[in-house]
Chain A
Amino acid sequence: MTPTSADTAYGYDDLRRLMSLMTGDEKHGPAATSTLDVLWVLYDRVLRVTPQTAEDTGRDRFLLSKGHGPMAYYAVLAAKGFVPQEWLPGFGSFGSPLGLHPDRVLVPGAEIGSGSLGHGLPIAVGSALGLRAQGLTDAAVWVLVGDAELDEGSNHEAVAFAGAMGLEGLHVVAVDNTSATYRRPGGPASLFAGEGWSVTSVDGRDHEALYEAFTAPHPGRPHAVVARVEPKR
């Protein structure tokens, strides 16, 4: 199934070709594409943000916290018109705005610079609080984290606090490729559930299941979607 959008020339089927502009290889292993389906469904069907509204105060915000392996992210940003496709081949070079970890100052549409693990979710807590304080309660904040990234203590500060605050504007999608060194009993879901979040676990390759999980109501609570993909090892 290939969701497409009327306002872009690119669809899901173009993403691997766009990624190949960065890697020179059409065949990408599961690790390089672990976030691909999640990112596509979010940008194609869930997030209320476009290149034209990327500076609006009331836009939805997507924070890529797991900044490693951002080719899928750049491909989706290019497909949706945030960054020019012509930028992709320069990926990682000195003159390119597209680094091996994204920099929000350089990449149109990137809400944060990331790379050091455990920063996106805590920042997202602040943004969700800031939007709420300004009455912008329709604006959703989304963060993508990896299951291993959740080991960072800073995430535990953020998950516990957001749960206690009932921060409804905050959403996390945890891409779970079982890469954590010591897997938590119950996986990532138990971390969020233990702090009072709304939690759904789905197949991270199933677009309909992802969409349903992303759009499930969660009144009075932050929402976490655990997207299971192929194990890293």
Chain B
Amino acid sequence: MDTMRDRFTAVAGRLLDEDPRLAVVLAVISGERFTDAARRHPDRVIDVGIREQLLVSVAGGLALAGLRPIVHTFCSFLVERPFEQVKLDLGHQGAGAVLVSSGGSYDIAAGGRTHQAPGDVALLDTLDGWTVHVPGHPDEAEALIRHAAADADNRVYVRLSEQFNRSARPVSPGRFRVLREGRAGVVVAVGPLLDAALEAVADLDVTVLYASTVRPFDAAGLRAAVAGTDAADVVLVEPYLAGTSASFAAEALLDRPHRVLALGTAREELRRYGTWQEHVAAHGLDAAGLRARIGGFLAGSRRPVGLAGSGVG
């Protein structure tokens, strides 16, 4: 199976053939994957070298000149390092772009903290007008990248990761998908953490919503799901900084008493290398880690926890 990043680079090359408004902007990373596309479209595959501020500013300028830029590098160098360029050269100028990051929160785990960016979505949340897609499978990545490329002049962030689910779900930008229904609470699983979340709650009587698009946050979908449960207990399972979507959930449920357990990567720096799988486990985002915390949270509800299975609690 190809990775999301493989799929992105293949699809972006084809998109350049299909739509003369599109341009790909790179800062060395993944440049070797665009060699053929650059031969076909020398003016629309732009590699600025190791210059990440320029990477984003050039995208702003391309957009102001009438093109739709697709900008790509690792998470940490796309959102964090050139954050003022994202804020001013895209947002403040009213310029649209598609930012496609790879590396997720800790895909390059052995690279250490410099290559880890669990705060990217939270940072974008300080700005207005950003759509954020977090695909959970290469097929979803392709669908969402195609959607983003054709999404008028909107500002769209697509977050790719090495981790992905066994099967793809249909994408539905702006809406969460109901995968299961239960009475004891609602679990919102984001992108690549869906498989682990489903496994974690296999014997719990909970509704599971799947989000491959987190901004806009589907407040109506969450409210509808909560309305169908006995307890307004919500669990967010996000593959980036814990709590990133907590305020959005709270706002969606403003008019009713509720509890939110926001799971994601911890703020504390681990100072560990190894593999992304080890980091998933270290942040308690594998099935066992999720099961322990979700079970405890639901058991702490004022209402009896409805368990589908037995011997669990």
Contacts and interface: CB of A to CB of B under 8 A. Distances in A.
Contacts of B116: none
Interface stretch (B55-63, B137-145, B236-244, B296-304): B55-63
Contacts of B54: 122, 125, 154, 157-158, 161
A133 B51 contact: no
Interface string A110-146: 0111001001001111111111111010000000000
A134 B65 contact: yes
Interface stretch (B32-40, B42-50, B168-176): B42-50
Contact of A127 (B44, B46, B48, B62): B62
Given A123-B57, A130-B67, A134-B67, A113 B62 contact: no
Contacts of A103: 92
B41 to A, nearest CB: 8
A96 interface: no
12 contacts: A104-B93, A112-B93, A119-B88, A125-B61, A126-B58, A126-B63, A129-B43, A132-B43, A136-B65, A153-B53, A158-B54, A161-B48
B158 to A, nearest CB: 20
B17 interface: no
Contacts of A31: none
Q: Which interface class (under 10, 10 to 19, 20 to 34, 35 or more) fits A?
A: 20 to 34
Contacts of B57: 119, 122-123, 125-126, 154, 158
B92 A122 contact: no
A32 interface: no
Given A129-B43, A153-B53, A154-B53, A123 B60 contact: yes
Interface residues of B, number: 28
Contacts of A61: 64-65
A132 B67 CA distance: 11
Interface in B76-112: 84-85, 88-89, 92-94
Contact of A104 (B44, B66, B94): B94
B53 A105 contact: no
Given A61-B65, A122-B61, A126-B59, 8 more contacts: A123-B93, A126-B61, A128-B61, A129-B23, A129-B58, A130-B65, A131-B65, A133-B23
A57 interface: yes
A136 B59 CA distance: 18
Nearest to B54: A157
B63 to A, nearest CB: 8
Contacts of B53: 122, 153-154, 157
A119 B46 CA distance: 19
A153 B69 CA distance: 23
A116 B91 CA distance: 14
Q: 7 smallest A-B Cβ distances: which pairs?
A: A126-B61, A130-B65, A122-B57, A126-B58, A133-B43, A127-B61, A157-B51
Interface string A149-185: 0000110011011001000000000000000000000
B42 to A, nearest CB: 9
A212 to B, nearest CB: 28
Contacts of B67: 130, 133-134
A140 B244 CA distance: 43
Nearest to A104: B93
A127 B65 contact: yes
Nearest to A112: B93
A131 B23 CA distance: 12
A122 B43 contact: no
A105 B90 CA distance: 12
Contacts of A116: 84, 88
B64 A111 contact: yes
A134 B61 CA distance: 13
A127 B60 CA distance: 8
B93 A130 contact: no
A103 B88 CA distance: 11
A134 B34 CA distance: 20
Nearest to A136: B65
Nearest to A115: B88
Interface in B152-198: none
Given A116-B84, A161-B49, A105 B94 contact: yes
Contacts of B94: 104-105
A130 B88 contact: no
A126 B44 CA distance: 11
Contacts of A158: 54, 57
